[in-house]
Amino acid sequence: MYSVCATTGDITSILFGIPGEATSVALVMDGYPMSKKGEAGRALGAALMSSLVGAVIGAAFLTMAIPVVRPLVLFFAAPEMFMLVIIGLTCLSTLSGQGRRGLIQGMLTGGLGLLFALVGQDHLRGIHRYTFESLYLLNGLPLIPVMVGIYAIPEIVELIVKGTPIAGEISHGRLGKGVREGIKDTFRYFWLTVRCSLIGAVLGMIPVWVEGSPSGQLMPRA
């Protein structure tokens, strides 16, 4: 059920540029431009098939890595999580494009994300941050509604104003062929699929903060 829900976020990311799940945000960068070019079927086929292959590879990798990774995960604490946050923020400069403008946009985006993340009750000290005495903000801002507001509303308004479909030209009856081409792309670039699957498996082993856990500690995902 969880895998299905996470994978269906790829559909909205590709067709509308709206990430349905947090894991689908990066797919907007390549999938949505393909939809604008009339290659939505190919993007969907590649995304869904690579998700299937990645799930199998990730499950096998994690099964074999449990004896080695388990002691490391249990020793993962706040300093290590802080290091990962800093690494993630520095990666924004790479994902935001080249040049000074891309760097500035990446820094502004990272700062906006940190500002949103500060809203709510501090897990360690119980301090209320930017809640403006509202009970609805004590648990922070939910990630999915924030992403929908940032990505979906501008795209919907743009489509309404232009009065045109997402793709400039619609090729009727070719969606099935495009899906088959996307499936072939997964195996055509199979080594790339394997590398990305292994990267995802390693990132999946990183512990996350679990609300309500004993002493506010970091807990592994699995």
Tally of domains within the chain = 1
**Is the confidence at residue 190, as pLDDT, over 80?**
yes
Does residue 83 belong to any structural domain of this protein? no
* Three-state SS at 81: helix
Structure-model confidence comparison of residues 63 and 212, the more confident one: 63
* Three-state SS at 156: helix
Does residue 95 belong to any structural domain of this protein? no
Give the residues across from 121 on adjacent strands: 128
Does residue 92 belong to any structural domain of this protein? no
Does residue 107 belong to any structural domain of this protein? no
Domain that holds residue 20: 2-77+144-219
Q: Please write the tens of the pLDDT for every residue from 130-164.
A: 888 777 777 777 776 777 777 677 777 777 787 76
Q: E strands, the chain, where?
A: 120-121, 128-129, 208-209, 218-219
Q: Please write the tens of the pLDDT for every residue from 15-29.
A: 877 777 777 777 888
Q: Please write the tens of the pLDDT for every residue from 69-117.
A: 777 777 777 787 788 777 777 776 666 666 677 677 777 777 777 888 8
Mean pLDDT of 179-185: 86
Does residue 8 belong to any structural domain of this protein? yes
**Is the confidence at residue 210, as pLDDT, over 50?**
no
Q: Which helix (H) or strand (E) holds 142?
A: none
